[in-house]
Amino acid sequence: MIAIGATLGLGATAIAQGGGDPLSIDFQDGCLDHSRVVVKINAPDGDSIDALSVRANGREVLRLNGLSGEARMRMRLASARGQVTVSGRLTGGEPFSRSRDYRPCAPAPAPDPQPAPQRNSRPEPTLTGGGEG
């Protein structure tokens, strides 16, 4: 269900206290056209993540220990609606948690209906004469 891969647009950042670059957890921005979500996690400089858990709609889909540096994960939700939660503990014992709720993108507006062409089942009568009178 989870593959390490290229990212899509990324957004929200969670910050934990500490020196250097802080812990960052970036979730894919916006609504979902499909059920795939990308999450990027970057451990703080000089520190590592002792325990990490990623959940999709309350179900654990990934558990890692001893993560240092950057990790990118692509996961599939059961539908284009759901919640992704990343939680864990830094090596120093400081806990962290970040969640994002996703919803499907609004459907594209329907095009204006075109009137159906009218078929003329009977020919119009031909008019003759006129003007006398």
Each residue's pLDDT tens digit, 64-114: 999 888 999 999 998 889 999 999 999 989 999 999 999 999 888 888 888
Q: Closest by alpha carbon to 56, among 72, 41, 35? A: 35
Model confidence, pTM: 0.65
Q: Which residue has the higher pLDDT, 18 or 76?
A: 76
14 DSSP assignment: -
Neighbours of 18 (CB within 10 A): 17
Cα distances (angstroms) measured from residue 28 to each of 8, 25, 35, 37, 84? 6, 10, 12, 6, 10
The overall average pLDDT reported for the chain is 79
Residue 76 token pair = 């599939």
**Strand (E) or helix (H) holding 21:** none
Residue 85 token pair = 């939660």
Most distant pair of Cα atoms in the chain: their distance: 110
Neighbours of 76 (CB within 10 A): 14
Q: Is the dihedral of CA 70, 74, 80, 81 positive or negative?
A: negative
